Each structure stands twice: as structure tokens, then as C-alpha cells.
Structure 1
Amino acid sequence: MVAKGLILKEIRQAYIGLITASAVLIVYLPWMIMNAYSSYLEYGNGKFEFSMFESSFNGVTLLMPFILAIGMLGSEKQRGSMDFTLALPFKRSAIFWVKWLVGTITIVISLIVSFCVSSVTLNITGAFVLESTVQYYLYLTLSAVMIYSLLFAAGCLTGTSFAQGMVGGSMLLLPVLIVSVSIMNLDVFMDASALYNQGFADILINFSGLNIVWYDDTTMIERIITPLCLTILYTAIGYAAFLRHPAERNGYFFLWKSFNLPVFLIVLLLGMFGFGGFGYSIGGESIPGYITGILIGAGTGAAIGYVTIYKKAK
């Protein structure tokens, strides 16, 4: 009864976000199929072909677990209702798992329903599908749950919904940013193009959860194992943080202030060397342009880091 009451409380509290995310995840691919079929009937000839991995709407679907996780944690902290939740007669571990499972189950069930509807739609339209529907939905489910777990962990470490979104989004892009900025700066002193290849790019894509946006069927095992392992890692981090750190609203970017300086330094360095590489490329590949970019980046990174990390939100 206790678990049931907590589940019902979370569903009632976040029902708008749950319904919205479910509707988008269920409808998006059948809608894309019918949209492509309508264009085929009007302009096409021959057989109707449809590629799920080339759908322009794929990236939008990955925003749903992003928004859902913020609704389950960040928004609740922002409006102060997390204090009420923590005051209820439930263990913190139970609160964490119920919140995480409500979002995860919503994603999984929605995509199962979407798979069934899409399969029927493809049969009705007589589409020749260029990829495996099962493989596509497997990749999408793994990516969506991984992104949800990452944003959920970010919510356990941060004090506001803005901070949760910023940390989660930054972590998704961090591998790509680090590699890109490093190659940009190495190009100033040497030819670093040999360090980048398609296989390396595929690895970065797996870590970012974008394996349905850039499709490569030669790396199927990695595209399954990587998000699975990352989901376990992110969930473990979130669980430990939720149990050990205060989850009540305090307006600070990080609940654990020991994160402030390391993250500020990362923002500063990425700003410096990111702008440095950009300044070098637009400055005629000159050292003065590179140095100017570093100086501008240092100021920008320091300002962004201070305003976002150290200033308390009202």
C-alpha cells in the first residue's frame, strides 16, 4: 500500500509531462510514415520506401526523456514540493526508485505501443523499410532510457531545473566537445586530422545517445552495450547522490559544493580553447587570432561559470 500510494502520488503530480511524453513517443513515427506516404502518393513512383533512421524527427524524440526527467526532479525542487515529498513516511531509496521507474516505464511502454502502431502502419502502406524496425526501436529505447537516467542523475546532483538541464545536456555533449576542442587546438601546431576517423566518431555517438540519428549497422553490439552500461552507471550515481546529499530546494547549482570548482575549471578551459580554436580558424590561421580567441574564451567561460554555478537562484 505504501509503494502504491507513492506511485499514485508521483503519477498525479507529473501526469501532464507523462501524458505529453507518451503521446509524442507513440505518435511520432507513425506520423512520419504517413507523412512520407502522403508525399509518395502525390509525387512518388515505383515502390514506397521508408527509412526510419533518416527521419528528421528522430532528434526531437530524444527531448522527451530529457523533459520528463526535469519534470520528475528539477521542477519539483524548483517549486519547493520536493520538501513535502521527502517529509512523507517513505524511505529516500523508495522515493528515488519510484520516480526513476515511473519515467522509465513510461518511456518503455510508449515505445512498445509505438512499435505496434508503426508496424501496422507500415503494413497498411505497403512500405519497403530500409532498416530493421526491431533494431530501430531497440536503439531508440536504449538511448531514451540512458538519457533519462543521465538527466535523472543530474537532478540528484543539482538544485534547480535549469542546473539539471545544463548538467545533463553538457554531459551528453562533453565527449564530443572535448575531442573537438582538442583536435581544433592540435591543428594549430600540427596536422591533427589523422586522429579523427569514422570509427572514433561512432564511439562518441554511442556515448551521446544519438545512435538513432547517425546509423551504422556495423557497430550493433557497441550501440547496445554502451547505453546499457551508461544507464547502470548514471542510475548508480543518481541513487548514491539522492541518498547522501540534501535534495531540498536551496537554489544552488550543485547540492554538493565540492563540485563547484572542478566544473567551473572545465567550463573555463572549454571556453578558452574552444574560442582559441575558433579564433585561429577565422583569423586566417594565425597565432594572434588564436591568442585573441583564448582571451575572449577565458572571459566568456569565467562569466558563464560564475553566473551559472556560484550565483544562488531565487
Structure 2
Amino acid sequence: MVKRQLLYKEWKQSELTFILVMLVAALATPFAFLMEYSSFQTCINDTDCITDSPRFSYIFKTDAFLSLSWLMGIFFAVVQIGFERNKGQMDFTLSLPFSRSTIYHTKFFLGAGIIAIIHSISYVLTYLLILGLNPLEVPGFNSSYFFSLLSTCMMYSLFFAAGTLTGSAISQAIVAFSTAILPFLVIGLPIVHLDFIMKTSGMWMDRIFNYLISPISPITYITTERFQHDYPLWFPGEEYIVPIVMMIVFYLIGLLSFMKHPIERNGRFFLYSKMDRPIQVIVIVFGVLGFGWVGFSSDNSMFGYITGMLIGGVVGALTSYFLIYRKR
């Protein structure tokens, strides 16, 4: 599945980038923990400083690295797929005496492995600091680290899959971010328009957003704030299980696409030419619905609603044309 020679080639291709990211990311939370502890000790020794507690505590749910670690997953996926395709190196990689599935698995597990190693090192170092400094409390330590790892791997697999469908780094980013909010577009926009037509109180719409759209939207899981709000859950552990399921789905989509896609359309938005027209139509529809909602919200009139839909159709058509049909 993963070939050592190919793994070495993939590592050496972006070695400096991987090492720098690993060093910075693995030390980010332990360093922040130490800095917070140092500031607390300074405050304790200063008679003019007022503290809420005589003992040190650290809230991991608000830690910068854990909250933003999903950016690392995006970065690795774009470097491994999008940038390699932009540089024209993907054709060389595919010409090596390895099957496409082997190349895909080697790339994927290299990135996912680095992400897991970074979180593991950070976790161990922080745990040792907790044992040594013995703080009063460290709420969210285990859950925040685990959720951060899941959300990072989920975003990595999403952007990795998007890279197997697109011909450039910018196309990869656009498709992945669009997928991350896709439930809001596919389900949310029609619901908003239906609410306009029915003129309801909006309570049923809020329930659909909270119970259906939010739980199945990848964008919902990119921060540990998921634990800080009273989101209604379908079942216990949903905040862990859903990212795992989505990660597996994106992994399989990426694998099938990478094994089947043509390589002669490098630089195009989509590697599959058959996807161009349907996606353009979808973008136009989203433009019509989105701008129609904005137009109606601006003056609560049918004139604003229709005007917004017309503007949205034009914007969607032009945007989709320049994004999809123009080679980069």
C-alpha cells in the first residue's frame, strides 16, 4: 500500500516545509502553556496584580494551536497535491513505476501521519508540563486534543480529495471550501427562500439548521468551539463520530478520483471535463438564490428579491465561466 522508496521521495520533495511545520506546531501549545504559567507566576509575585485563583489553570478549548490546527491539514493537502500540480511535478510522480493507488496512499498517509505525530508530540509535552507544574485545573485537555486531531485530519482529507478532482492549487482550495459549506448552500438557501414565501416565524428553520445542516457541515467542526455551545446532537459522541465518517468519505472519494482522473488537463479547474457544465449551472443557481435572499432582506420587497436574483444569475454565470473554463 505504501512504498518506502515513494515515501522517501515524497518526504524529500517537501522536507524543509514538513520539518518547519512540525517543529512550530508541536511546540506551539507547550510554549503557550509555559508562557501562561510564567505570566501567572509573575502576577502572583506582584502585589498590584489581581488573580481569580491562587493556583494556575489553563483552558485548552481556547488554545490557539488546537483551535487553528485544521489550517495545518489544509496546508499539507495543498502542498502535496495543488502545488505539485502547479509546478508540473505530478506528471513525473505518476510516471514512476507505482500504481496510482500506491501513490495516493503514500501521499495521504504521509500527510496524515505527520499530523498525528505533531498532535502526539504536543500532547505528550503538554502532559509532562501538567505533571510538573501541577495546575489547579486543565479543562478540555484530552477532548480538545482529540477533537483537534479529528478536525485536522477531516480537513486534510477534504482538501486532499479536492486536489484529486482539480487541476491547480486555487481550484483545490475553492472546491474544498465550497464543499465545507455545501449543506448550507444546498439545504439552507432553499429553506430560507421557502421561509420568505411562507412568511413563518422562522422557528422551524432554526431547528433544521441546528439539527440537520450544522451537524453534517464540515465547516462546523473546524474549531473546538463545538464544545462551548449547546448544539443539539443526534446521538452521544456525534461531535467525534461525524468528522470520522466525513474523513472516511472524503478519503474514498479522493482515492477513486485519483485512480481514474486524466492528467492531460493540468491547470484546468476540474480534471474531469464532464464536471464543468453541471458545476457551472449549480454555481449560477446558488448565485440566484443567494443574491435573491440579499435583495429581499435589503428592502423586504419583491422588486429587491427579483433584482437580486437577476444580479446573482449574472454574477454566478461570469464567476463560474472565468473560474471553470479559463486555464491557469
Fold conserved between structures, TM > 0.5: yes
Paired AA for residue 194 in structure 1? W
Q: Which runs of 5 or more residues in structure 1 are unaligned?
A: none
Partner SS, residue 5 of structure 1: helix
Partner SS, residue 89 of structure 1: coil
* Equivalent of 2:139 in 130, 135, 145: 130
Paired AA for residue 196 in structure 1? D
Could you tell me which residue of structure 2 aligns to residue 6 of structure 1?
A: 6
* Equivalent of 2:221 in 206, 209, 217: 209
148 and 220 in structure 1: CA distance in 2 versus 1, 3 angstrom threshold: farther
8 Å CA contact 2:61–2:67 kept in 1: the answer is no
293 and 125 in structure 1: CA distance in 2 versus 1, 3 angstrom threshold: farther
Could you tell me which residue of structure 2 aligns to residue 116 of structure 1?
A: 124
Could you tell me which residue of structure 2 aligns to residue 87 of structure 1?
A: 95
Task: Kindly report which structure 2 residues correspond to 1:1-314, keeping only aligned pairs within 5 A, or say none.
Answer: 3-38=3-38, 40-41=40-41, 42=43, 44-46=51-53, 47-55=55-63, 58-123=66-131, 124=133, 126-131=135-140, 133-189=141-197, 190-191=199-200, 192-197=202-207, 198-200=210-212, 202-204=214-216, 208-210=220-222, 212-215=224-227, 220-247=236-263, 250-283=266-299, 285-313=300-328
- Within 1, Cα distance between the matches of 2:225 and 2:31? 18
8 Å CA contact 2:189–2:290 kept in 1: the answer is yes
Q: Which moved more, 1:242-251 or 1:34-43?
A: 34-43
- Within 1, Cα distance between the matches of 2:203 and 2:296? 16
Q: Which moved more, 1:164-173 or 1:262-271?
A: 262-271
What is the number of residues matched between the two proteins?
A: 310
Paired AA for residue 33 in structure 2? I
- Within 1, Cα distance between the matches of 2:190 and 2:56? 44
105 and 294 in structure 1: CA distance in 2 versus 1, 3 angstrom threshold: same
CA RMSD across the alignment: 2.4
8 Å CA contact 2:180–2:219 kept in 1: the answer is yes
8 Å CA contact 1:269–1:301 kept in 2: the answer is yes
Instruction: Provide the identity percentage.
Output: 32
Q: Which moved more, 1:2-11 or 1:139-148?
A: 2-11
Q: Which runs of 5 or more residues in structure 2 are unaligned?
A: 44-48
17 and 282 in structure 1: CA distance in 2 versus 1, 3 angstrom threshold: farther
99 and 214 in structure 1: CA distance in 2 versus 1, 3 angstrom threshold: same
TM-score, reference length from structure 1 = 0.89
Partner SS, residue 215 of structure 2: helix
